[in-house]
Amino acid sequence: MTLVDDLQAPVSDHELDRRKALGILTGAAFAIAGGGTAITTIRYMRPNVLFEPPTKVTIGSVADIPMGTLLVLIEQKLYIAHTDEGIFAMSSVCTHLGCMTRYDAEKNAIACPCHGSKFDAAGNVTGGPAPRPLVRKQITLEGGVLIVDTRKDVGESFVLKV
């Protein structure tokens, strides 16, 4: 039996077309893998920074908030109340499950539309499943301007005397 040298045998056109197709598929697979690796490498090199809103919010002067009103700051998730005792800031996040509460000016009350918790204008629970009053935030008067630090909680009876 004689050995046949396959490399020396003539290749048919059908065999060439098959080899070209497999070569193209292999090249495409390597190109896709290389592109994915390049994209992953570029994204890894760029810093992945989380930009958070500032924790200190400038409210304005005491004269900007009339006596007996509740100022609603939706974006900052805050209520600012000016009472006879002074000024205080409350979070607008419900203490039940963390929903956003809404102020009803006609009833002078705050309500959670999700689960029915109700609060008075001072943030005290008047009904519903909320276990405690709205959280008060630290408010200070610096150079005639009210500043709330949303990161710092204060006691339920904290009021800034003005």
Amino acid at position 30, single letter: F
Element spanning 27, H or E: helix 13-45
Q: The whole model's pTM is what?
A: 0.66
CA distance 99 to 115: 9
CA distance 158 to 149: 14
Q: What is the pLDDT along the chain (162 residues), one digit of tens a residue?
A: 666 666 676 767 777 788 888 999 999 999 999 999 999 999 999 888 888 777 888 888 888 888 888 888 888 899 999 988 889 999 999 998 888 999 888 888 899 988 889 999 888 999 889 899 999 999 998 888 899 998 888 988 888 887
Q: Across the strands, what pairs with 72? A: 79
Cα–Cα–Cα angle for 150, 153, 159, rounded to 5 degrees: 100
